[in-house]
Amino acid sequence: MSTIPALGPDRVGPLYGALARFAGPVELLDAVRRLHALGYDRLDAYSPFPIHGMDQALGLKRSKVPVLTLAGGLFGAAFAQTLQWYQSTRAYPLITAGKPLNSAEAFVPITFETTILYAAFGAVFGMLALNGLPRLYHPVFRGKSFARASTDGFFLSVEARDPLFDRREIVALLEALGGTEVELIER
């Protein structure tokens, strides 16, 4: 059963895409694989738990978060070493117990802690930025039954900006793939 809002000029706003509910994770994964094989690439799946193989089915690339974590850690290490060197040799040059001003061994604990801190910042802020968070609203929230996505709903959305998107064809295709509550979503 599909609930298609008016497709004429009386539509309220621009179209975001189509949303379809599926019976379970197997049906959702199968539908995503088949749509991706047909050439659709602006897809997203929503389920109450992770589905093994969904990343590959959606064609998602490897995450960039590890690179951002490494960059944050390297920056933290360089920052700590530079700051400690400056303080020990230029700003406050104190000779303590005959040790050299630039004692790398004394810098290890602070360098380690700063490396971990900045790596954590790189991971958290990188993940937030790459996920487009914080995001307080998403057009799929307008779906009539989308509130079930966090309990027992399995949903697939196809964005209107996909080159293959056609209003009438996508509704028929999603219904043919097993979608039960297919609807067009406005922005």
pLDDT at residue 94, as a whole number: 86
More confident of the two residues 94 and 32 = 32
Contact 68, 122 (CB under 8 A): yes
Q: Are both 77 and 51 inside the same structural domain?
A: no
Q: Are both 71 and 86 inside the same structural domain?
A: yes
Overall domain count for the chain = 2
Q: Are both 167 and 182 inside the same structural domain?
A: yes
Q: Mean pLDDT score of the chain, rounded to an integer? A: 91
Q: Are both 56 and 70 inside the same structural domain?
A: no
> What tens digit of pLDDT does each residue of 121-159 get?
999 999 999 999 998 899 999 999 899 898 999 999 999
Q: How confident is the model at residue 120 (pLDDT cuts 50, 70, 90)?
A: very high
Q: Are both 71 and 52 inside the same structural domain?
A: no
Q: Residue 18: beta bridge partners?
A: 158, 184
User: What is the reported pTM?
Assistant: 0.75
Q: Are both 125 and 70 inside the same structural domain?
A: yes
pLDDT at residue 157, as a whole number: 97
pLDDT at residue 103, as a whole number: 83
Q: Are both 101 and 120 inside the same structural domain?
A: yes
Output the CA–CA distances (angstroms, integers) from residue 104 to 74, 78, 117, 128, 148, in the order listed.
Answer: 17, 13, 20, 35, 57
User: Residues in the chain, how many?
Assistant: 187
* Domain boundary pick from 107, 130, 153: 130
Q: How confident is the model at residue 100 (pLDDT cuts 50, 70, 90)?
A: confident
Output the CA–CA distances (angstroms, integers) from residue 111 to 49, 51, 78, 169, in the order listed.
Answer: 39, 40, 8, 58
Q: Are both 142 and 54 inside the same structural domain?
A: yes
> Distance between CA atoms of 187 and 183, rounded to whole angstroms?
13
Among the residue ranges 18-22, 28-32, 91-95, the one predicted with the least confidence is: 91-95
Give the chain as a 3 state SS string.
Answer: CEECCCCCCCCCCCEEEEEEEECCHHHHHHHHHHHHHHCCCCEEEECCCCCCCHHHHHCCCCCCHHHHHHHHHHHHHHHHHHHHHHHHHHHCCCCCCCCCCCCHHHHHHHHHHHHHHHHHHHHHHHHHHHCCCCCCCCHHHHCCCHHHHHCCCEEEEEECCCCCCCHHHHHHHHHHCCCCCEEEEEC
Say if residue 6's pLDDT is above 50: no
The domain containing residue 154 runs over which residues?
A: 2-62+135-186
Q: Are both 69 and 126 inside the same structural domain?
A: yes
* Domain boundary pick from 130, 152, 169: 130
> Distance between CA atoms of 114 and 83, rounded to whole angstroms?
11
